[in-house]
Structure 1
Amino acid sequence: MSSLKHIYFFQAGIGVLANVFLLLFYTSTIYRDHRPKPTDMVTCHLVFVHIVMLFTILDILSANMFMSLNFPNDFKCKALLYMSRVMRGLSICTTCLLSIIQVITISPSTFCLSRFKHKLTNYVSHALFCFWSLNLSSNSNMIIYSVGHSNMTNLLNVSKYCSLSSVNSIIMELFFILTLSQNVFFVGIMLLSSAYMVILLSSHQKRSEYLHSINISPRISPAKRATHTVLLLVTFFVIMYCLDIIISSFSTMLWKYDPVVLDVQRLVGSIYATVSPLVLISSDKRIISILQNVIDMTSISKS
């Protein structure tokens, strides 16, 4: 196993543990609260998507788990490639939804979307249903064109065990354009919402400086802290997405299985799923308080 694979398995392990912790936390929070926060619901969905994404990308699943279940090789490839593409699309959509909700939450009453502020919880479930429907349909070409390794020609190898058929390349290009347009649209919405949040934070910063000048100590509000977290997540996601697009284009141009390129692509494509839960954990006061209580109890029991 190459050093890149070791790095990826280590990264994926941390990501799975962090996302599972967040999933348990947000699930229990939503269960306890009669009126859960929209951001908690969206974040819970995001960490679930990332758990599935990390598992589907792992080579050990395609090499050993499905083999032990005696599934046909074509089924293994279709299931893994389709699910990984769907989860990747859902990650983009859910991160975009998180940024939109944060914009609505911190916006003044004069903002055009502020009328949705008190009904966000109802709209979140509808939005997530639409995201699932969109990604399940837009990535359906993976079911048709993904195949196990065979003696066929004109195959694009995407892993050690799976390939994409280049038959009906026009249809494949149409699906590629559809998926790319969908992703670019959601990334564009992220950038617009981020720019709006930066403008709001800038105006709030000027107000805070004024309060500080008249000896009133300004406090960082929970909404402002949450906005900083969302901005950090969106910025990191956009950077990783652009890198993934560049590497994917290079891999497609090679039109062959290059383990190094695919390992780098897998590493870049999954790093957001690993980093995002760590950012969310470090920025949520509720989680920090729980962890601090656990540390205190541990130190007391040891003493």
Structure 2
Amino acid sequence: MSSLQNIIYFQAGLGMVANIVLFFFYTFIIVGHKPKPTDLISWQLTFIHIMMILTGGDIWLADIFESLNIENDLKCKATFYTSRMMRGLSICITCLLSVFQAVTISPSTSVLAKFKHKLKKYTIYAFLCIWSFNLSFTSNRIFYVGAYTNMSETSQMKVTKYCALFPMNYIIEGLILIVATSRDVFLVGIMLITSTYMVIILFRHQRKCKHLHNISHLRTSPEKRATQTILVLVIFFVVMYWVDSIISSTSVLLWMYDTVTLTVQKFVMNVYPTITPLVQISSDSRIINVLKNMHSKHYHILKIN
């Protein structure tokens, strides 16, 4: 068990470092250059992933709150609310990224082509809608989470070291479950449709350019590389999201969370926020060039000294 806990801490540490690097890179792009709509979305997604790792599974914030002498009940509500909200934001922003990339690479003859020049404008509206919905939808959970006590196990379900869920009215619980499931199914469906659309476009483009001699240029085009990256992220997200959802739903239905289940869920929750920045860093030529320049400058300084 301790070895699995060490893996989770390593995973969280790696994810934090990678996301912070990526966050500063996108901030630099947004402030100092002309960002693409997908850069703005990736910047938001990176911030969300930092918050997910901070709040996911009571890994970091528990120690911070404890050092500030904040009472457990407030700590639990704040951590659980933020964690649930970021989880919802993650699926919404990932879906938005997939849709915008599909519009970006759509051919000029496509119906989607007319939206290309308005993507930046739509990005702001989309952010406002997504954040507003998730801020309000998650707020109901504040009333049903609090500090874990030594009461009867049937009246509470321990979900982290200090926090527990309390039973809620069956009608309210059913409505929350229906809305949350409908949201997730709808967004995952959109991601799968846009992913299929992008695969078809890439396949057609590849076939059309088969006769060209400059195939190597086609394979390394930024548009194709960005599309492939988003496809990998979407597929990975869908798998991890539903694994996490199955664990959560099963635990709530059985009203039982054991230590092993909690630990496995912590790991699953942090897989996507950890993998995403690593995939983006390794596939974005702009980041790779910046890192290469930093390395060459550092090497040059060492050589002079």
- Same-fold status (TM-score > 0.5): yes
Indicate yes or no: 2:27 matched with 1:9. no
SS at match of 1:273: helix
C-alpha distance in 1 between matches for 2:96 and 2:81: 22
Q: What's the CA shift for 1:189?
A: 0.5
Q: Deviations over 1:31-75 (max 9, x none)?
A: 112x42101100000000000110011534453321232322221
C-alpha spacing 1:32/1:279, structure 2 compared with 1 (3 Å): same
Instruction: Output the CA distance in 1 between the equivalents of 2:76 and 2:36.
Output: 38
| Percent of residue pairs bearing the same amino acid type | 51
- For residue 95 of structure 1, report the CA deviation from its aligned partner: 0.7
Q: Any conservation in 1 of the 2:54–2:61 contact (CA below 8 Å)?
A: no
Q: CA deviation at 1:218?
A: 5.0
Map 1:247-262 onto structure 2 (within 5 A).
247-262=247-262
- 1:216 deviation in Å? 4.5
Secondary structure of 2:110's partner?
coil
Q: Is the Cα–Cα contact under 8 Å of residues 99 and 230 in structure 1 kept in the other structure?
A: yes
- CA distance 1:143–1:7, shift in 2 (3 Å): same
* Number of equivalences: 299
Distance in structure 2 (CA, Å) of the matches to 1:149 and 1:64? 16
Structure 1 unmatched runs, 5+: none
Compared with structure 1, are the counterparts of its residues 3 and 169 closer, same or farther at alpha carbon in structure 2 (3 Å cutoff)? farther
With the length of structure 1 as denominator, give the TM-score of the two structures.
0.93
Shift of 1:116: 1.5
Corresponding position of 2:192: 191
The equivalent residue for 2:54 is: 55
Equivalent-residue separation in structure 2 for 1:8 and 1:223 (angstroms):
34
What is the aligned partner in structure 1 of residue 243 from structure 2? Answer: 243
Residue aligning to 1:181: 182
Which structure 2 residue ranges, 5 or more long, are not aligned? none
Q: Distance in 1 between matches of 2:292 and 2:172?
A: 54
Q: Superposition RMSD on alpha carbons, in Å?
A: 1.6
1:111 CA drift (Å): 2.1
Give me the whole-angstrom Cα distance separating, in 2, the residues matched to 1:86 and 1:194.
25
**Match of residue 100 from structure 2:** 101
Contact preservation (8 Å) 1:50, 1:91: yes
The 1-side partners of 2:225 and 2:61 are apart by 40
Indicate conservation of the 8 Å contact 2:89/2:134, yes or no: yes
Q: Distance in 2 between matches of 1:187 and 1:41?
A: 21
With 37-46 and 111-120 compared, the bigger mean Cα shift is at 111-120
Q: Which residue of 2 aligns with 1:219?
A: 217
TM alignment of 1:146-295, pairs within 5 A: 146-150=145-149, 151=151, 153-211=154-212, 215-220=213-218, 221-295=221-295
C-alpha deviation, 1:170, in angstroms: 2.2
Cα distance in 1 for residues equivalent to 2:30 and 2:286 = 13
Give 1:284 deviation, angstroms.
Answer: 0.7
Give the structure 1 partner of residue 21 of structure 2.
Answer: 21
Quote the offset at 1:222 in angstroms: 1.3
Of 93-102 and 239-248, deviating more is 239-248
CA distance in 2, matches of 1:278, 1:48: 15
